[in-house]
Structure 1
């Protein structure tokens, strides 16, 4: 049986208080079991500790604070092929409207003096800069750590691994600027980022990955973000050899500037989203998408303190977030 028929799973070995990551191969049809126990719902986010957070925060050098999120606007790019709703924004109250309708029953004179604006939004949870919860993709009705849709999914979302379980993330962040390393502004259509492309970029950047890193991969696609059609057309993305390599290096979270992280078409027969199931369902590694990496790339800021919190949407399979990056010494 060849490696293409397998995916690598995590072996955690405690050696002198540190975690060493090695690679073994298991049937790709099975979800992973957490080394943190049968009740674990956050997977590799367990690699964050008080010590690891204090360590990275102590290395902050000041200077620029990079906003890694995108703007939300009507007509913005999103995942539409499965029929999910596009981002929609509307005003629920306007200054002149309140004068005419008096929704608070305070009278015309008060409404003319106190201007009232209100708004609402509707969107798919995987819209804009967001993080995928571990229940987003599974295998044969099960998700990471063996939680089962028959028992753990209710009318109001998953009772396990929902977006509300994702803790605030404070860790070392690493930019892997594959587009820059390949000498292009944007990687070619459907370009598959494998182990060799990741290793080449890391070598050029003089960066070594460490267990517990938030790894962010730049394809350059974000330069087209304001043009929805161009942004969504045949994006480059992560391939299986690249995903396996990052897992073996101990990545805690893996993200990219594209939608939906991985390259298409699938390179695994019988699985149309093999990178998603490999990371989420087998290894408990959250995925981030539509991360704005352009300013980090321009400034050649390859390592930083990554700080990000997502909305605590109970039972949801993803949540919007607004992460920041602060350079470190």
Structure 2
């Protein structure tokens, strides 16, 4: 048995003793885009006028599913690398404005016109969000060979930033792995396999198509209100499952209801986040995390129009978004 360091998604780095040694995968390097040397969005190039028209033409009336989560003080978030908590503070309150009179309009006016304002601070990978392709790289290079030492300044990346992500309008597919296993929620640390995905798709009678946004349900969102429980060794994707989605099924974007999409400990000896580097750096496939999938699961909605737009945070490695799912015929 060999001691291996793994990321404890609670707050710290923990050492576990495991009965296996992860393999070394040779010659992993950033991918070169088939869309040309200037490409900054990778597989999002699969969004075209015809692909948008095709899915939107199938939209029907009825329930709209909100796939986003609330932001709140104390919410689950990644802090193992020292990233900040979500914070919100009041800049103006009706009572405080009466006392401070910040606009010099006088007490009677402030008592008549109630003024509330707030500010927030958050890590880019909080809440429902999309990872841009500059989030992880290999050997100093991100997708399409862009080098960090050439493209990262004090104001972020000048390539592949979140502002380049187009509005996401595509066929969405839910793969409900938890339900396929007759479980409310996959066990802590469970690693989703290729076979799990294939079996869930067969159970749902759902097929994948090139250009899909594929969302994996682990059931973890059921404990979202309990940050410690949500972040404690969540289930996630394995590397072979990620390869299946991209190389066999042709997915454009992949996502899940957990943080941080993949499972730990790493399957590779040479990479502590091999699923992230495979998807982002090698394949140019953005990742969605903390996607709310419980309502889709309850109603057994497995195919839908996915519509969402991330904030255009210039130079950023991720951005919050509020996606919706619209059932289709």
Question: One fold, TM greater than 0.5?
Answer: yes
3-state SS of paired residue (2:60): coil
Contact 2:32 2:143 in 1 (8 A): yes
2:254 match? 254
Question: 1:29 offset after TM fit, Å?
Answer: 2.4
TM-score (norm: length of structure 2): 0.92
2:308 match? 308
Tell me how far apart the structure 2 counterparts of residues 59 and 28 of structure 1 sit (CA, whole Å).
Answer: 43
Tell me how far apart the structure 2 counterparts of residues 182 and 234 of structure 1 sit (CA, whole Å).
Answer: 19
Tell me how far apart the structure 2 counterparts of residues 5 and 240 of structure 1 sit (CA, whole Å).
Answer: 13
Question: 1:286 offset after TM fit, Å?
Answer: 0.2
1:125 match? 124
Question: 1:130 offset after TM fit, Å?
Answer: 0.2
Contact 2:219 2:294 in 1 (8 A): yes
Tell me how far apart the structure 2 counterparts of residues 151 and 73 of structure 1 sit (CA, whole Å).
Answer: 37
Per-residue CA deviations over 1:1-55 (Å, capped at 9, x if unaligned) read xxx654xxxxxxxxxxxxxxxxxxxx54210000000000000000010000011
2:94 match? 95
1:147 match? 146
Tell me how far apart the structure 1 counterparts of residues 107 and 188 of structure 2 sit (CA, whole Å).
Answer: 58
* Deviating 4+ runs (over 3 angstroms): none
Tell me how far apart the structure 1 counterparts of residues 27 and 223 of structure 2 sit (CA, whole Å).
Answer: 34
Contact 2:24 2:270 in 1 (8 A): no
2:6 match? none
2:105 match? 106
Contact 1:191 1:235 in 2 (8 A): yes
Tell me how far apart the structure 2 counterparts of residues 85 and 235 of structure 1 sit (CA, whole Å).
Answer: 20
2:8 match? none
Question: 1:109 offset after TM fit, Å?
Answer: 1.0
Question: 1:274 offset after TM fit, Å?
Answer: 0.1
Question: 1:189 offset after TM fit, Å?
Answer: 1.2
3-state SS of paired residue (1:98): helix
> Are 2:56 and 1:66 equivalent residues in the alignment?
no
1:245 match? 244
Contact 1:260 1:289 in 2 (8 A): yes
1:171 match? 170
Question: 1:234 offset after TM fit, Å?
Answer: 1.2
Superposition pairs for residues 164-313 of structure 1, below 5 Å?
Answer: 164-248=163-247, 249-313=249-313
TM-score (norm: length of structure 1): 0.92
Contact 1:5 1:28 in 2 (8 A): no
> Are 2:160 and 1:161 equivalent residues in the alignment?
yes
> Are 2:49 and 1:76 equivalent residues in the alignment?
no
Per-residue CA deviations over 1:62-85 (Å, capped at 9, x if unaligned) read 111000000011100000111100
* Structure 1: 5+ residue stretches without partners: 7-26
Aligned-residue RMSD, C-alpha:
0.8
Tell me how far apart the structure 1 counterparts of residues 96 and 133 of structure 2 sit (CA, whole Å).
Answer: 43
3-state SS of paired residue (1:277): helix
Question: 1:184 offset after TM fit, Å?
Answer: 0.5
